[in-house]
């Protein structure tokens, strides 16, 4: 199986550790993973701001650069949703080969256990695009059986406790450029999410979407710096370091 990893622009620039953890997880499963240079961005910021025409180039680049892979994985639910929807609209066969990381681990790789250890109370922030867009879990509005792929993965981590929340899947208020153009509502929503996690004793807030965590982390850094944000890949990869850290493994091969 050939695997392409798509690391979106902001993760590349600001959260390289998330890219590294994702790569380590995938390589730990025994996959050969390639990371094409282009495109740097899925194009969602333009599209959601009302310039879908400006995102077409990114989507086109993606379709041609990643067409050669059996599966494409990205640690960002929101970017994956945008790519999937845009590629589907173009009837591109690539659309169905793009996966958000949890979806890949859960559905494609079908992992049943993880050698991870993370003895902390963790609040799971369900990103809206992952949850309602990609169907990574059941949403609270729908009267369907409850499930959550990210939560199932987290439950495989030794020592980890998922804290319950009052509002299990309310939006954090990031919303891409919404966070800037509607900064007051965005900030208010983010603060409310943080309070919910804090009230239930979360030490770490995690999510399958780093963009939500960039927003929540930015607030936490000023208002409650003792609480950390970590991408789910970092937690699923925690203490896998011994065998999954890329360098020694690669120098052998």
Closest-CA residue to 212 (of 111, 81, 118, 23): 81
Kindly tell me which residue out of 16, 159, 201, 248 binds another protein, with binding defined by CB under 8 A: 16
| β-strand pairing of 204-207 with 228-231 | parallel
What mask, x for binding another protein by CB under 8 A, covers residues 56 to 95? -xx--x----------------------------------
SS3 241: helix
Site string for another protein, 133-172 (x = CB under 8 A): x-----xxxxxx----------------------x--xx-
Q: Which long-range contacts (CB under 8 A, 24 or more apart) does 10-17 make?
A: 10/210, 10/211, 10/214, 11/75, 11/76, 11/210, 12/40, 14/214, 15/210, 15/214, 15/231, 17/234
- By beta-carbon proximity to another protein, the closer residue of 33 and 154 is 33
In whole angstroms, how close is the CB of 37 to another protein at the nearest point?
A: 5
Residue 57: how many other CB atoms lie within 10 Å: 13
Task: Supply the minimum distance, in Å, between the C-beta of residue 181 and another protein.
Answer: 6
> Taking CB under 8 A as the criterion, which residues in 213-232 touch another protein?
214-215, 217-219, 221-222
Answer for which of 46, 160, 205, 233 binds another protein (CB under 8 A) is 46
Q: Between 9 and 95, whose beta carbon lies closer to another protein?
A: 9
CA distances (Å), 71 to each of 20, 79, 87, 108, 201, in order? 18, 15, 14, 9, 37
247 binds another protein (CB under 8 A): yes
> Is the Cβ of residue 45 or residue 150 nearer to another protein in the bound state?
45
Indicate which single residue of 3, 4, 6, 11 sits in contact with another protein (rule: CB under 8 A).
Answer: 11
Contact 231/75 with Cβ under 8 angstroms? yes
What is the footprint of another protein within residues 174-203 (CB under 8 A)?
Answer: 174-176, 178-190, 192
> Which range binds another protein by CB under 8 A, 16-24, 113-121, 152-160, 197-205?
16-24
Question: How far, in whole angstroms, is CA 16 from its chain's centroid?
Answer: 13
Q: Give CA–CA dist 178/161, Å, rounded.
A: 32
- Binding of residue 20 to another protein (CB under 8 A): yes
Count of residues that interact with another protein, criterion CB under 8 A: 76
Minimum CB separation of residue 188 from another protein in Å reads 5
Contact by Cβ (8 Å): 21, 231 = yes
């Amino acid at each position: 199986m050939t695997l392409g990893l798509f690391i979106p622009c902001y993760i590349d620039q600001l959260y390289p550790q998330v890219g590294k953890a994702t790569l380590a997880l995938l390589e730990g499963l025994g996959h050969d993973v390639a990371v094409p240079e282009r495109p740097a961005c899925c194009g969602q910021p333009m599209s959601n701001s009302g310039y879908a025409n400006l995102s077409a180039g990114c989507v086109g680049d993606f379709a041609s650069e990643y067409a050669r892979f059996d599966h494409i994985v990205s640690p960002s639910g929101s970017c994956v949703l945008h790519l999937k929807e845009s590629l589907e609209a173009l009837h591109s066969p690539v659309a169905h080969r793009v996966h958000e990381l949890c979806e890949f681990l859960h559905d494609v790789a079908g992992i049943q256990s993880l050698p991870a250890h993370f003895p902390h109370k963790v609040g799971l922030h369900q990103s809206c695009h992952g949850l309602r867009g990609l169907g990574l879990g059941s949403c609270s509005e729908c009267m369907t059986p409850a499930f959550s792929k990210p939560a199932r993965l987290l439950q495989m981590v030794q020592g980890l406790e998922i804290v319950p929340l009052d509002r299990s899947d309310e939006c954090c208020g990031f919303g891409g450029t919404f966070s800037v153009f509607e900064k007051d509502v965005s900030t208010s929503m983010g603060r409310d999410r943080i309070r919910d996690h804090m009230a239930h004793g979360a030490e770490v807030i995690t999510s399958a979407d780093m963009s939500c965590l960039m927003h929540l982390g930015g607030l936490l850094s000023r208002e409650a710096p003792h609480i950390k944000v970590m991408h789910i890949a970092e937690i699923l990869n925690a203490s896998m370091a011994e065998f999954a850290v890329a360098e020694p493994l690669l120098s052998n091969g």
